[in-house]
Structure 1
């Protein structure tokens, strides 16, 4: 990537891109000088540091302090790749730990602008153990309910990616950036370079968005608004129904209405509900499910709500893992959750089983069961079996007139009962899956009109 590319901007240039006229106040940790040529006595190390300082104007590979992005104060830390490849040594660890502690003491979000080649060879294991310091500092922020956002620049590799970058709650990347645990000099010679790019990491569900430099400040500002920190917020209000469907007279009519091609889907509900949406992408295990939408959104009044929305397709294990990730993050940050249920059921093909369908569904059930923030659920279409129930709030589920909820879809229900396909409609009638049945049975609290 060219040295003048926005993804290769200096640490201070990247900070200025985000804070603009609002400015940045730099902080410095207490000085802890290194012994001559560093902890290993590596010949020429002091001279290399002096050259890096003369070239960049920096004393170390990380700059940190407080600033404002949009209208939100935060702690910013930025790696200077021009200083020994943005590598992490003991003094870098001092600065990183101090930045996390500053965010903790002031109860501010942490925004990390990462560009690093990993641990510093000239400091050996002393450098490598700085990753443990970063992991511990990050864990303290998580325990305190403070959000962490990473913007990964070019390049972001090694331990810096595996801690400050990938360890953040939300990971944004600049286009074309090299991103991956293995840097270009140590990966296999025949490795596909796309896998080590921002776009490749996005495709694999490891990055939430690839954001052009011109949109970065606005995007980060919206994320800071959505993630807080917040005091306890009220439950997410119910969306309004997107169709004026009448209540079905039979179970088979309910199923037909939920499966109607023209019925409004999750995208229509979310577009109506939010003034701004900020997607979370992927399960962080190498997979994505385009049929399940996750993220945080801002309502017209500025209030944040996390959302998990099924899009009418069988939900895959990656979707359930992404849902659990979203719900747990919302719980930690005290943001209410909205779930939109619409699936004929969990994906049940061989690939889904190999990908851990049962464990992924169990993880989602557990996330809903353990959540402390209010969860609001609206069934907007098909509610097929446990694959739908995993996303439903046990005491705050509502339904639309063009939806159904059933122990299983009518076709497999008839098959389980050893009934011929001709009896599928009658089976649907027996299952009491209509919206009004669900209210009568105490499964749903109301029919949203």
Structure 2
């Protein structure tokens, strides 16, 4: 193909083919567990032309027909100048193929190598369900020759910090991560996730303030302990794909008693908009792939500072409420610590929420309730009782299904 009649293009293609042993910058093969699509940067900088688009279409079509995930191993400088707009339009073609693959309920994992820039990052790489990247790779929409200057933002680590990459994985560990991840993404068992066992105290609190102090105790088990206890293997997902990461919302997919379960777990902090958007993202992924979801609730409430308001805390919580309410896959929730107001409720299943003995769930923290009601500080404990926030109170009220056992 030489749609522009570019002088010397045929010779360039010939040299690239001799150098790499490939006909194009992309090659693909069907393996047992996936269709692997690989870019070769030695072939005209891994650039994409019309014939490249043909090969990408072959790969995605084969994967869809065989019911397999696609793994895209990317190293590219972007579109091929020698083919002009015929090259650039391949991005629309690739986006359509990715959308078809998603509509078929099949996963796509991208692996970003050095470099991953231009339109392929903005179409094939960034659109994947799970985005892995090798350390130190150049990753960005703008390549090194067209951007203002060097900046950590244009790296794997920078994209991870900005919520665009799920995991930075050394090359020698990629095989192991993919070997764990791909079977989980293809799990497809829609039975609800079981309720995790309680890891902390098993006796019930005597009064409301006792429940609050237990949930706030530094020694109380947190989300990482629960996830380690529940899953025999797991792969974390990170980022809201909109520029944000909240370390207080742990998301990913794991193996529990031979079944794949997607999870979103609060860690006891006030979650930011990025955290709520990340939880929405992984629940939507679970719905598309037909996987059950486990959520762990533990937050004093959503972040309420000015930065959170500017970043859209209200719309982010609204999005999560809607995602949970409309989910067509089962969601199991365990409140493991503080269940503070809407920031906790947004992550909770409407009909399958359980609570640990050393947790509470409340419309508001007792201290804030006292402030709103214009009571004295000496009324905090009494107000906690009035709020009926103990596990046994919540069972009686029908807010939760039951108290988790050890």
Which of the five TM-score ranges fits, normalised by the shorter chain?
over 0.9
Q: In the TM superposition, what is the alpha-carbon distance from 1:245 to its structure 2 partner?
A: 3.5
Q: In the TM superposition, what is the alpha-carbon distance from 1:201 to its structure 2 partner?
A: 1.0
Asked whether the equivalents of residues 189 and 260 of structure 2 are also in contact (C-alpha less than 8 Å), the reply is no
Q: Which of residues 80, 103, 106 in structure 1 aligns to 2:66?
A: 106
Q: Which of residues 393, 405, 411 in structure 1 aligns to 2:361?
A: 405
Q: In the TM superposition, what is the alpha-carbon distance from 1:98 to its structure 2 partner?
A: 1.4
Are 2:14 and 1:50 aligned?
yes
Cα-to-partner distance string for 1:292-325 (whole Å, 9 max, x where unaligned) = 10000112x3311111100011111110011000
Q: In the TM superposition, what is the alpha-carbon distance from 1:197 to its structure 2 partner?
A: 0.8
Q: Which of residues 69, 80, 84 in structure 2 aligns to 1:120?
A: 80
Are 2:268 and 1:312 aligned?
yes
SS in 1 for 2:251: strand
CA distance in 2, matches of 1:341, 1:422: 29
Cα-to-partner distance string for 1:388-411 (whole Å, 9 max, x where unaligned) = 000000000000111110111111
Could you say which residue in structure 2 is the equivalent of 1:273? Answer: 230
Could you say which residue in structure 2 is the equivalent of 1:137? Answer: 97
Cα-to-partner distance string for 1:254-299 (whole Å, 9 max, x where unaligned) = 1111111111111110110111110001111111111110000112
Could you say which residue in structure 2 is the equivalent of 1:75? Answer: 35
Q: Which of residues 249, 269, 276 in structure 1 aligns to 2:206?
A: 249
Could you say which residue in structure 2 is the equivalent of 1:440? Answer: 396
Equivalent positions of 1:168-179 (< 5 A) are 168-179=128-139
Are 2:306 and 1:346 aligned?
no
In structure 2, relative to structure 1, the CA distance for the partners of 1:199 and 1:231 (3 Å cut) is closer
Could you say which residue in structure 2 is the equivalent of 1:6? Answer: none
Could you say which residue in structure 2 is the equivalent of 1:21? Answer: none
The list of structure 1 runs, each at least 4 consecutive aligned residues, that deviate by more than 3 angstroms after superposition, is none
CA distance in 1, matches of 2:160, 2:266: 20
Could you say which residue in structure 2 is the equivalent of 1:422? Answer: 378
Could you say which residue in structure 1 is the equivalent of 2:247? Answer: 290
TM-score by length of 2: 0.98
SS in 1 for 2:31: strand
Asked whether the equivalents of residues 284 and 327 of structure 2 are also in contact (C-alpha less than 8 Å), the reply is yes
Unaligned stretches of 5+ residues in structure 1: 1-33
CA distance in 2, matches of 1:289, 1:418: 33
Q: In the TM superposition, what is the alpha-carbon distance from 1:203 to its structure 2 partner?
A: 1.5
Q: CA RMSD in A?
A: 1.0
How many positions carry a matched residue from both structures? Answer: 405
Asked whether the equivalents of residues 299 and 344 of structure 2 are also in contact (C-alpha less than 8 Å), the reply is yes
Q: Which of residues 7, 12, 25 in structure 2 aligns to 1:61?
A: 25
Could you say which residue in structure 2 is the equivalent of 1:162? Answer: 122
Equivalent positions of 1:116-265 (< 5 A) are 116-189=76-149, 191-192=150-151, 194-228=152-186, 230-265=187-222
Q: In the TM superposition, what is the alpha-carbon distance from 1:246 to its structure 2 partner?
A: 1.6
Q: Which of residues 56, 61, 70 in structure 2 aligns to 1:96?
A: 56
TM-score by length of 1: 0.89
SS in 2 for 1:422: helix
Q: In the TM superposition, what is the alpha-carbon distance from 1:345 to its structure 2 partner?
A: 0.2
Cα-to-partner distance string for 1:315-341 (whole Å, 9 max, x where unaligned) = 111100110001000111111000000
CA distance in 2, matches of 1:78, 1:444: 49
